[in-house]
């Protein structure tokens, strides 16, 4: 089985976020970037298929040279090779088109992507990719087993879970539950040294016109000041809840 894991290069959730150029561009200064958490769950599951079933695992990213350390981390975790499509990832449709070419050229049986990235939260790319490569698709995937050319997946739905059976080729949008957080792998020194020798191929993008663009970014409104009310002053508390908080 030949597996491709899609890797997004996203800011660490602890990073302080700022914007430049009149709030039209994300300021990357001082920001630590990591593997998108949903993608990391998928990569860990792919490692299981590699170790238990002898699958080969490639990772792919659409982005500039600054994303290569993230790909190298994926190689250190255990992926066999990496592909970087040399294009800026600003539009979900354009990213899906770039990934579709990689999938078609590589002849992959299983494509594992995160259900969404934690920066744009678009949740568009896996579904569009599946349509472009004419593959089956399961999103919100929290469990995946593959035997031969058949796959059994469990996905979250409103109010519960759904088990589906399908066939390869398959694209999934994975999330926590595909593996548990305790199963995630930290690269060891041997993995880091081996990653330096593994291939990281840079391919030029196919000609795609982006369908959307970010016009402006805006931070959430700051939290308001906290008012403390003496525990014995219930009348004041009721008045504030009625007149200011407007919850009663």
**Residues 201-228: tens digit of each pLDDT:** 999 999 998 888 889 998 888 887 888 8
CB 8 within 8 A of CB 116: no
Helix (H) or strand (E) holding 148: none
Distance CA 30, CA 126 (A): 30
Tens digits of residue pLDDT in 87-97? 998 899 999 99
Hey, what domains does the chain have and what are their CATH numbers?
2-218 (3.40.50.620)
pTM, entire model: 0.87
Tens digits of residue pLDDT in 130-152? 999 999 999 999 999 999 999 99
For the chain, what is the mean pLDDT? Answer: 93
Distance CA 59, CA 51 (A): 16
Distance CA 137, CA 166 (A): 9
pLDDT on residue 9: 94
Which structure tokens are listed for 68? 């290569």
CB atoms within 10 A of CB 238: 12
pLDDT on residue 90: 84
Q: If pLDDT is split at 50, 70 and 90, which confidence band does 52 have?
A: very high
């Amino acid at each position: 089985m030949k597996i491709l894991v899609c890797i997004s290069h996203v800011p660490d959730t602890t990073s302080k976020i700022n914007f430049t150029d009149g709030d039209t561009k994300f300021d990357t200064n001082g920001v630590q970037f990591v593997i998108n958490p949903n993608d990391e769950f998928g990569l860990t599951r792919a490692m299981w298929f590699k170790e238990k079933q002898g699958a080969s695992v490639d990772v792919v990213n659409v982005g500039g040279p600054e994303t290569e350390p993230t790909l190298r981390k994926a190689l250190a975790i255990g992926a066999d090779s990496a592909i970087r499509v040399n294009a800026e990832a600003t539009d979900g449709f354009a990213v899906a088109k770039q990934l579709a070419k990689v999938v078609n050229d590589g002849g992959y049986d299983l494509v594992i992507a995160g259900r969404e990235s934690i920066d744009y939260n678009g949740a568009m790319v896996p579904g569009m990719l599946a349509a472009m490569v004419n593959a089956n698709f399961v999103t919100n995937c929290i469990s995946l087993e593959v035997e031969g050319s058949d796959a059994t997946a469990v996905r979250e739905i409103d109010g519960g879970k759904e088990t589906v059976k399908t066939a390869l080729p398959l694209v999934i949008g994975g999330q926590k539950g595909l593996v548990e957080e305790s199963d995630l792998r930290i690269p060891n020194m041997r993995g880091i040294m081996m990653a330096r020798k593994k291939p990281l191929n840079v391919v030029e993008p196919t000609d795609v016109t982006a369908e959307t663009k970010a016009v402006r970014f805006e931070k959430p409104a700051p939290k308001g000041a906290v008012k403390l009310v003496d525990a014995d002053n219930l009348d004041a508390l009721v008045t504030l809840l009625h007149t200011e908080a407007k919850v009663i």
